[in-house]
Amino acid sequence: MSSPVNPFLGPQPYRAADRERFFGRETVTQRLVNRILAHPCLTLFGPSGAGKSSVMQAGVIPLLEEAHEFRTVRIDGWLAGEAPLARLVRTMHAELELGPPPEQAGTAQALDAALELASQRSDRPVLIYLDQLEQLFLPGRDIEATGALLKGLDALARKPVRGLQLVLAMREDYLGRFRDRVRGRRELLEQGFRLGPLTVGEMVKVSCRLATEKGLPSQPWSEQEVRALMRQVRMAGQGEQDDDAEVQAAFAQIVCRALWDERARGQAVEPVAAEPMVHRYLEATLDALGSDKKRAARRLLEQHLIASDGSRTLLTEQEARAELPPEHADEVLTHLEAAAVLHAEQHQGSRYFELGHDWLARKVFELKQQRIERESAQRQRRREAAERRRLIVLASVAAGVAVLMTLLLAWALKEQGHAEQATKDAERAKQEAVKQARDARGLALMTGARDLQGRGYTAMATKLLLEVPEPEQARWWTQLAHDFLKEPLPEVTFQGTAPLHHAAFSPDGQHVAASSPEGLAWVWRVDGTGTPVALKGHLGFISSIEFSPDGQWVATASQDATVRVWRTDGTGKPRVLRGYEDTVHSAAFSPDGQWLVTASADMSAQVRRADGIGEPLRLAGHEASVLAARFSPDGRRVVTASWDGTARVWRADGKGSPVVLKGHTKPVSSAEFSPDGQ
């Protein structure tokens, strides 16, 4: 009997190709090819999981190679320990068969020499495709090395070389950082192509057809049940009941794969909760490896393929194998790659791995945090069990002493002269045994508290320290208490459903607002009571959040090029302020709360009414992104801070010329008036 065939296995089988097959549009591949041929440099961007790599590798590159005889130089990932410009030069030499690269590969001269050599070897056109450029803008990356690559790419784009085409691909949430780094390099910024993911409605039709036409045996899926699933994996900020809402394609594929597998096994699944289904799929994938191999795979995922903030990291195949038992390494890596848990790319004759998608990195990170908490609780239970065993031993000793003292007292009846002394000895022994038991328990509790405090769990350590019996008699208790009190102990912890990056108190100190990079914000009461107010609507990173002076409104600025003004209690619809050409970095109220001043990556600040009425006043003059803007205490002036290394003081009504404050040698990230406004 043949095994069931899951139509959702493989590298994203329902992205660009099925979109074109089922919906009859002008092909994404052909439109992208036309744009590439028309311009020397094209920036390809889109949300994570939209299929940028799939469209390029499965459609665009084969078409350019077959129809236009292109030679292709392709880089799919950027390892942290390798200079990106040197990586490009070495890849050009390898893929264009130019011979061994020079020793000093990471120079502009080496890049020019490689291009010249490629022109001499053949007159066929050359496509340089650089994927996942967002990896170069991650924290900890060498800024100067990235700058050298961008400078080299700018030089390539400006060269009068016919048939040299550059494609720079990245996630769209990194597009703002890319633009800041290449500002002024027109050739790298001028042409862009956004590849959006499938919508809920499109994904429903594609999934149902794949399950029916390609599954062996086929599974008839109803559009109603699949639509409920696809709405759960839509992009953040998309409408819950909107069939045009975009979905996270990689996440949707895993959900469909998990649903198909569970139904193929005859399990009755109600497709109303995508997250638990994906959790079951991940656990089933690991369980299929067996206990020893499962532990090795989990250690590989948790310890080496996610960063401390939960984002994805890269790992070479050699490094991955070093973390696995040699006899199981091939089996574990092949299994995880086939299940789309791992994604592999070729690199210098070998491969490197990363987790299949950002959502998977977040899930593995959550599982790691849960495992750490479980292990901490288990260690605590083991310490408590050991303490109980010690107390039992001490109690047994004390009981033995009591039995001995009873015998001594019986013997003392015969010798009255020794009886009184024996009684005193027994009492002292009993007291000593009790004291030793008390001291042993206190020592165990203090040792556990010090261990917890050393690992950062100060609040838990403080609770453990308070259980030490007769602390005034316990050695080191006072010193430990003083050490713990030096640590900042939280009074209230506010928890969102995504990482929190910016926070602000209301003017009366009764509320706290915080925002996340996923376009969500919340307002809490400072005492932690009640249900937080969720502010939903932004489609990008929220870069600032601030209360109005009367505390009745909250203003948020976002990467989606809008400012929104919300009621603090969450009632009504927010006021959406548009008119920006790029990311809005900050929004601040005037002292009377009637006006807002905003700072934008489009090199300007705007003064506008907080209620959105009327046209904004645009303050232009900075030569780079404006990072912050604030009113003076009297509301008559505005100060702005910019990436161009200057701050400027303007009249709030826009009249006259601004005062330019120079002196900084690097970007000015913020500026603020003194209380007297001088």
Better-scored residue on pLDDT, 104 or 401: 104
The C-alpha torsion from 245 through 544 and 603 to 613, rounded to 10°, is: 70
Give Cα separations from 266 to 1, 165, 262, 272, 280 (angstroms). Answer: 16, 51, 7, 18, 15
Distance (Å, whole) CA 455 – CA 452: 5
Distance (Å, whole) CA 21 – CA 33: 18
Better-scored residue on pLDDT, 178 or 278: 178
Number of CB atoms found within 10 A of residue 244's CB:
10
Structure tokens, 11: 């590298």
Fold of 39-194: Rossmann fold (3.40.50)
Examine residue 217 and say whether the peptide bond preceding it is cis (omega within 30 degrees of 0): yes
Distance (Å, whole) CA 305 – CA 358: 11
Closest to 646 in 3D by CA, of 620, 619, 626 = 626
| pLDDT attached to residue 14 | 40
| pLDDT attached to residue 615 | 93
Distance (Å, whole) CA 151 – CA 134: 16
Return the exposure string of 215-234: e unless at least 16 CB atoms fall within 10 Å of the residue's CB, then b.
Answer: beeebebeeeebbbbbbbbb
Distance (Å, whole) CA 14 – CA 55: 11
| pLDDT attached to residue 663 | 94
pLDDT band at 15 (very low <50, low <70, confident <90, very high): very low
- When the pLDDT of each residue in the chain is averaged and rounded to a whole number, the result is 83
The helix or strand, by DSSP H or E, that contains position 210, with its residue range, turns out to be helix 200-213
The identity of residue 44, as a single letter, is: L
pLDDT band at 17 (very low <50, low <70, confident <90, very high): very low
The answer for 51, left when phi > 0, alpha when psi is -120 to 50, beta otherwise, is left
Residue 558 has pLDDT above 90, yes or no: yes
Q: Of how many residues is the chain composed? A: 678
Better-scored residue on pLDDT, 409 or 140: 140
Return the exposure string of 588-600: e unless at least 16 CB atoms fall within 10 Å of the residue's CB, then b.
Answer: bbbeebebbbbbb
Residue 609 has pLDDT above 70, yes or no: yes
**What is the CATH code of the structural domain delimited by 502-661?**
2.130.10.10
Q: What is the CA radius of gyration of the chain?
A: 33
Structure tokens, 360: 């998977």
Q: Which of 99-108, 385-394, 608-617 has the lowest mean pLDDT?
A: 385-394
The identity of residue 131, as a single letter, is: D
Closest to 233 in 3D by CA, of 219, 251, 212 = 251
Residue with tokens 């900020």: 237
pLDDT band at 270 (very low <50, low <70, confident <90, very high): low
Long-range Cβ contacts of 319-322 (<8 Å, 24+ apart): 320/353
Burial classification of residue 483, based on how many CB atoms lie within 10 Å of its CB (0-12 exposed, 13-18 middle, 19 or more buried): middle
The identity of residue 561, as a single letter, is: A
Structure tokens, 442: 């206190």
Do the Cβ atoms of 121 and 97 come closer than 8 Å?
yes
State the Cα angle at 498 between 514 and 578, rounded to 5°: 60
Residue 39 has pLDDT above 60, yes or no: yes
The sheet with strand 511-515 has its strands ordered as 502-505, 511-515, 520-525, 533-536
Q: What is the pTM of this model?
A: 0.43
Q: Kindly list the domain boundaries of the chain, sorted by start residue.
A: 39-194, 200-360, 373-485, 502-661
Structure tokens, 126: 């050359």
Distance (Å, whole) CA 225 – CA 211: 13
Per-residue pLDDT averaged across 592-604, rounded? 95
Give Cα separations from 42 to 46, 64, 230 (angstroms). Answer: 13, 15, 31
Closest to 232 in 3D by CA, of 273, 203, 263 = 273
Do the Cβ atoms of 82 and 91 come closer than 8 Å?
no
Axis-axis angle for helices 249-264, 200-213 (nearest 10): 30
The helix or strand, by DSSP H or E, that contains position 149, with its residue range, turns out to be helix 143-158
Q: Which of 12-21, 32-41, 474-483, 565-574 has the lowest mean pLDDT?
A: 12-21
